Structure 1
Amino acid sequence: MSATLAPARPPLRPYLATTGRILRQLRGDHRTVGMILVVPALLMALLYFIYQDAPRPPHGPSLFDRVGISMLGILPFIVMFLITAIAMQRERTSGTLERLLTTPLSKVDLLAGYGTAFSVAAAGQAIAACLVSFGLLDLQAAGNPGWVVLIAVVDAVCGVALGLLASAFARTEFQAVQFMPVVVAPQIFLCGLLVPRDQLPSWLEPISNVMPLSYAVDALQQVSVNTEATGRMWRDIAIVAAFAVVALCLGAATLRRRTT
């Protein structure tokens, strides 16, 4: 007598279900959606007014153009790191993550679902910030603004991945926030925004070379001065994407149940 086989479950169903659940939660959290979509654009507007009356150099970009294009990569990275780390930690403390880990849902499906959902939000954030900057604030770049959007999205996704990884080492939402000065602040200092990376002290330059934000800012600077996409720009984008993949893999490796 032949055994009745259960119908095979579509391999993408757990992943899609997790992604859909997180997107529905985000849609219902209007404050978080507002922070994701509005805050970077408002900060870019603030930056515009800060530099509005600054003297423009006779040759080269204005201060707003030089700093603003870098901030289009930095701001999405910061905001998505913070929101993702807190949201993931909230899932842990509420017991949702604990319950999910008792189901057949794999760690890869779980992390991929979270990563995809927040990456969709990150893409919306980057597009909104770029539209405001180029459309309303007259940010100038030699290259196509579409490349800026692409780099900002990839960098925001990297922020999502690092936020998921950081949440694995936090016990509370407050601890998740405390990872921001540890993970994000050094990258802002060493990414080339304050001092060009080739002018850093010799012992700091190797540290800058292992930080994803350095390559995102470098790619944006390539767009600001080149009319066409360069090989260096594509290399930098690939490195930032590789950082995101590695962070997600490490996040899956550290994802485990927490028993009390």
Structure 2
Amino acid sequence: MTITRTLATAGRVLTQIRHDPRTVALLLLVPSLLIGLVAWIFSDTEVFQSVGPAMIALFPFIVMFLVTSITTLRERRTGTLERLLSMPLGRGDLILGYTLAFGLLAVLQSSIAALFAVTVCGLDIAGSLGLLVAVAVADAILGTALGLLASAFARTEFQVVQFMPLLVFPQILLGGIFLPRDQLPEVLQAIGDALPLSHAIDALTAVAAESHDDAYVLGELLVILAWIAGAVILASLTLRRRTP
């Protein structure tokens, strides 16, 4: 694995995406629009102040998971990955290049969503805005990494969507959005505590309410980064040249 090949792969992916401005606009704006919709629904209540941090974690995570997994799968189905891997390009170069390319989009997307929630939707942040954005960015990159992992196992775009109930929905249900995890049955609480989206939600909520110090938030951020690294490594080990 070399940095030159990794950067070349990332540049190719970004060039392809740049030629589709409609997709770029939707990718960057959809999470913010959904956050705005939630804020509008609860405009006459204090509900958005409690669920807003979770929405910053949730929507970019889902969008990046879908976009990354479907795009990567489509390149494998069309034979693009097979042609690339026939060159002096390793699986690690390829997966890391995709991670960098979509990770850059995740940075832009989640930064816009977090700032939109604070400046437009009126989400009160008692802690550091910079730390809030950092956690939001890591959470969106987590969606990218899990999307790459899902694309390594799926054979069709429909199967990618079917991976959402397996990799995404349990994290939403057990992440503490609908019910605090300490009120869940013990087994479900233990599972929820281990899932990465739960750590993102906890970190963003802690920053918003300043209920924990920065060391706690940084610890949660390290857990998210460990999940990202693990997903990227596993995706590079399981990536196939093409779909049978």
1:19 and 2:10 are equivalent in the alignment: yes
Q: Deviations over 1:64-119 (max 9, x none)?
A: 11101111011111110010000000111111011111111011111110000000
Q: TM-score, normalised by structure 1?
A: 0.90
Structure-1 residue corresponding to 2:62? 78
1:106 partner amino acid: G
Q: 1:230 aligns with which of 193, 214, 220?
A: 214
Structure-1 residue corresponding to 2:204? 220
Structure-1 residue corresponding to 2:37? 46
2:102 partner amino acid: F
Structure-2 residue corresponding to 1:185? 169
Aligned residues: 244
Quote how far apart the aligned CAs of 1:229 are.
4.3
Structure-1 residue corresponding to 2:187? 203
1:27 partner amino acid: R
Quote how far apart the aligned CAs of 1:248 are.
0.4
1:82–1:163 Cα contact (<8 Å) kept: yes
Q: Deviations over 1:130-154 (max 9, x none)?
A: 1211111111021122211111100
CA distance in 2, matches of 1:256, 1:42: 36
Structure-1 residue corresponding to 2:26? 35
1:155 and 2:146 are equivalent in the alignment: no
Q: 2:100 aligns with which of 96, 101, 116?
A: 116
CA distance in 2, matches of 1:204, 1:161: 24
What SS does the corresponding residue of 1:193 show, helix, strand or coil?
coil
Structure 1 ranges of 4+ moved more than 3 A:
none
Query: CA 1:259/1:32 → structure 2, altered by over 3 Å: closer, same or farther?
Result: closer
CA distance in 2, matches of 1:258, 1:222: 43
Structure-2 residue corresponding to 1:6? none
Query: Greater CA radius of gyration, 1 or 2?
Result: 1
Q: 1:244 aligns with which of 221, 228, 238?
A: 228
What SS does the corresponding residue of 1:203 show, helix, strand or coil?
helix
Structure with greater proportional helix content: 2
What SS does the corresponding residue of 1:177 show, helix, strand or coil?
helix
CA distance in 1, matches of 2:2, 2:218: 32
1:65–1:141 Cα contact (<8 Å) kept: no
Structure-2 residue corresponding to 1:5? none
Question: Which deviates further from its counterpart, 112-121 or 133-142?
Answer: 133-142
Query: CA 1:258/1:185 → structure 2, altered by over 3 Å: closer, same or farther?
Result: same
CA distance in 1, matches of 2:243, 2:42: 52
1:209 partner amino acid: D
Structure-2 residue corresponding to 1:65? 49
CA distance in 2, matches of 1:194, 1:86: 28
2:119 partner amino acid: G
Question: Which deviates further from its counterpart, 187-196 or 23-32?
Answer: 23-32
In structure 1, runs of 5+ residues without a counterpart are: 1-9, 55-61
2:65–2:146 Cα contact (<8 Å) kept: yes
Identity of aligned residues (%): 48
Question: Which deviates further from its counterpart, 225-234 or 81-90?
Answer: 225-234
Question: Which deviates further from its counterpart, 83-92 or 141-150?
Answer: 141-150
CA distance in 2, matches of 1:188, 1:240: 15
CA distance in 2, matches of 1:68, 1:168: 32
CA distance in 1, matches of 2:81, 2:34: 33
Matches within 5 A, 1:73-112: 73-112=57-96
1:191–1:217 Cα contact (<8 Å) kept: yes
CA distance in 1, matches of 2:134, 2:216: 15
In structure 2, runs of 5+ residues without a counterpart are: none
CA distance in 2, matches of 1:148, 1:172: 35
